[in-house]
């Protein structure tokens, strides 16, 4: 059986998952060391342990409202802020593509992908496979809906996880990017 580029990229990710708690390789989304069973809910892989950090709880709540929005302006208290930010994202994405040498068919990890404005912009400019990681289920639901609308969902895997405890083996991705999110991580030195 011949695998497509998408199947190769995403099976590489799914076969290299580790337990975020103890870094043990997973077998069928199960950690034999700590006994935790991870899963997938509404198209999003769930790797988020109990959150005790107040800063992380605040971020998760802040973006939780996105899951109920149809577009970013539905929750925009600043009258068009997100539309203006969308224009800025196009410029930033072009700079990242050039600076990080992002090419077609690469496997990209977007840490703190949030609502996905830069993620989707990147996917429109380059034929890449993206793994989006964010702590907020609402933001991931919003990104998933937008990716479906823009017919980009087939090149996107979504993980609800903590940037400080990611479920990925080392050296898995061709590139790792983060747009305006690392400053929201309470302990950025723990992001690996």
CA-CA distance, 13 to 118, in Å (whole number)? 21
Which pLDDT score, from 0 to 100, does residue 163 have?
84
Specify the pLDDT at position 124. 94
Looking at domain 39-180, what is its CATH homologous superfamily? Vaccinia Virus protein VP39 (3.40.50.150)
Q: Report pLDDT for 191.
A: 59
> Domain boundaries in the chain?
39-180
| Among 180, 68, 52, 65, CA closest to 113 | 180
Q: Which residue has the tokens 């990242």?
A: 96
Return the pLDDT at 46.
93
Q: Is the dihedral of CA 121, 123, 127, 128 positive or negative?
A: positive
pLDDT the model gives residue 44: 93
Residues 6+ apart with CB under 8 A from 106: 126, 128, 129, 174, 175
| Residue-wise pLDDT tens digits, 128-172 | 999 999 988 888 998 999 999 999 999 999 999 988 888 999 999
Predicted local confidence at residue 137, as pLDDT: 86
pLDDT tens string, the chain, 192 residues long: the values are 676 888 888 999 999 999 988 899 999 999 999 888 999 999 999 998 654 544 444 555 544 544 444 454 444 444 444 455 555 667 778 888 888 899 999 999 999 998 888 899 999 999 999 999 998 888 899 899 999 999 999 999 999 998 888 899 999 999 998 876 665 565 656 656
pLDDT at 162: 87
Q: In what order do the strands lie in the sheet with 175-177?
A: 39-41, 44-47, 156-161, 129-134, 107-111, 175-177
pLDDT on residue 73: 46
pLDDT at residue 57, rounded to an integer: 47
Residue 23 Cα distances to 88, 151, 174, angstroms: 37, 34, 20
């Amino acid at each position: 059986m011949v695998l497509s580029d998408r199947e190769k990229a995403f099976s590489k990710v799914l076969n290299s998952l580790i337990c975020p708690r103890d870094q043990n390789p997973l077998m069928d989304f199960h950690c034999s060391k700590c006994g935790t069973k991870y899963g997938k809910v509404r198209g999003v892989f769930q790797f988020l342990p109990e959150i005790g950090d107040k800063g992380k709880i605040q971020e998760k709540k802040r973006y939780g409202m996105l899951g109920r929005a149809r577009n970013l302006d539905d929750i925009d208290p600043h009258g068009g802020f997100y539309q203006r930010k969308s224009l800025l994202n196009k410029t930033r994405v072009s700079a990242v593509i050039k600076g990080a040498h992002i090419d077609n068919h690469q496997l990209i990890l977007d840490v703190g992908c949030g609502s996905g404005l830069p993620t989707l912009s990147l996917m429109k400019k380059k034929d890449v496979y993206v793994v989006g990681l964010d702590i907020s289920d609402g933001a991931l639901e919003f990104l998933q809906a937008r990716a479906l609308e823009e017919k980009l969902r087939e090149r996107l895997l979504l993980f609800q996880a903590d940037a400080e405890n990611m479920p990925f083996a080392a050296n898995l991705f061709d590139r790792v990017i983060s747009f305006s999110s690392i400053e929201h991580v309470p302990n950025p030195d723990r992001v690996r």
